[in-house]
Amino acid sequence: MACSGIVARIIPDSIASEIGLEAGDRLITVDGESIRDIIDLSFALADENVELVIEKKNGEQEFLEIEKEYDEDLGIEFESAVFDGVRRCANKCIFCFVDQMAPGMRESLYVKDDDYRLSFLYGNFITLTNSGPADMNRISRLHLSPLYISIHTTNGPLREKMLNNKNAGKIMEQLDTLITSGIEMHTQVVLCPDINDGSELEKTIHDLYALHPNVLSMAIVPVGLSRYRENCYSLQVFTPEKAISVITMVEKWQEKCRKENGTSFVYLSDEFYINANQPIPAYELYDGFPQLENGIGLIRNFLFEWQQENILTTGYQTPHHLDIVCGTSAQKILTPLLEDLKVSNLTIRVIPVENNFFGTDITVSGLLTGQDIIHALSQVSGIRTGVIIPGTALRKGESVFLDNMTLEELEGDLSVPVRAAYNASDLRELLQAWR
């Protein structure tokens, strides 16, 4: 299948800039070979002499011969890391959050990728159900490690049922194949009450821990249920009692793993501890936060960063009134921290936002929408100098919420400046140097 990489940006003063490449150009071949993705491209561009075929925006093709240093980069950023199309998910998982998206949202939110290349490049989780022998051979040959793999259960028949895919049941065989090739992996389980928890979870932890050290870590996150679950499998959220049961089991495994190999190995997402009203584990129990992007240890990492930041006490010459927006689960974490922050002429309010867009069972800050933020703030009277929102609520690399509202639109509606804080350092800086 013919494929091409579309140029998104040219780095100034790079080789690509010197030879006249532009955004919108297409990379057709390198040394006469079609390139499937930036993995292929990195190998193809390793030589000192390369030949490119470029298709310009007007459809004309140019042949370019380039001399460069060994492994020197051309200075091209592409619209996508894969040139032959993102491998789509072939599953119909009973817990899939994409299937619970509201209608009428931007098209990219309905895309379910299951591409081993994006797993290697960006840490996207994959199921391996669409990875055939050729894919496994390429992973092995190019040593694409580590990978991020959604396991959910090591019980083959149960996994077939949960993923609604007959290929899902051979996961342990696939993991063995990867391990034989020296591939390391991080794993995750989306935990569903009365389906893959209890004894099934015990088995899954046992089976994955037996594959350590190639299996580097195991994350457990609770199933998320939105209000758009029409024609979806009937599922329940975790009650505090069930969350405590999961925490108790995992703590026993963590103690065992730390005694045997020095790491906790298996980690729970913050929602379990908040739901059960249990303390967040100590910083050292997260072992460097191997799955922070998966929501594992976000609160503990935030608290640690907050404590490391220097406290400025100069304050403001005129009164400032800042509202900090967060999901309902983060309120109990932020409120005591901010009560201890004393900055003259600064009044801080923590505004928890109920998620009416997806449903009130969704409590994390990362799934807040612009319209829910506006609604929550409209219910709070008083002076407001500015608003700080969680950066995780915005699409990565953009200033757009999940409901397509932009940060600029939110700012215009509220008639005050709105800034995003992506971490503890951002938040403290905004509070102490609002501008």
Q: What is the pLDDT of residues 136-153, one digit of tens each?
A: 999 999 999 999 999 999
pLDDT, position 9: 93
261 and 339 co-located in one domain: no
Q: Are 313 and 346 in contact (CB under 8 A)?
A: no
Sign of CA dihedral 282, 288, 290, 293: positive
Within a domain: 226: yes
Q: Given this model, what pLDDT does residue 108 score?
A: 66
Domain boundary among 282, 303, 324: 303
What pLDDT does 2 receive? 65
Structure tokens at 147: 């990978």
The last residue of a domain, from among 78, 106, 132: 78
CATH of the domain at 324: 3.40.50
Asked if residue 84 is part of any domain, the answer here is no
pLDDT at 308: 84
Please report whether residue 85 resides in a domain. Answer: no
- The residue out of 254, 274, 303 marking a domain boundary is 303
Distance between CA atoms of 220 and 205, rounded to whole angstroms? Answer: 10
Residues in the chain with pLDDT < 50? 1
| Structural domains counted in the chain | 3
Give yes or no: residues 337 and 239 share one domain. no
pLDDT of residue 311: 62
pLDDT at site 107: 67
Strands (E), 223-333: 266-268, 320-327
In a domain, 91, yes or no: no
d(CA 122, CA 303): 26
What is the rounded CA–CA span in Å between residue 425 and residue 108?
A: 30
pLDDT of residue 260: 97
Segments forming the whole domain that contains residue 26: 5-78
Are 333 and 226 in the same domain? no
Q: How far apart are CA 393 and CA 405, in angstroms?
A: 11
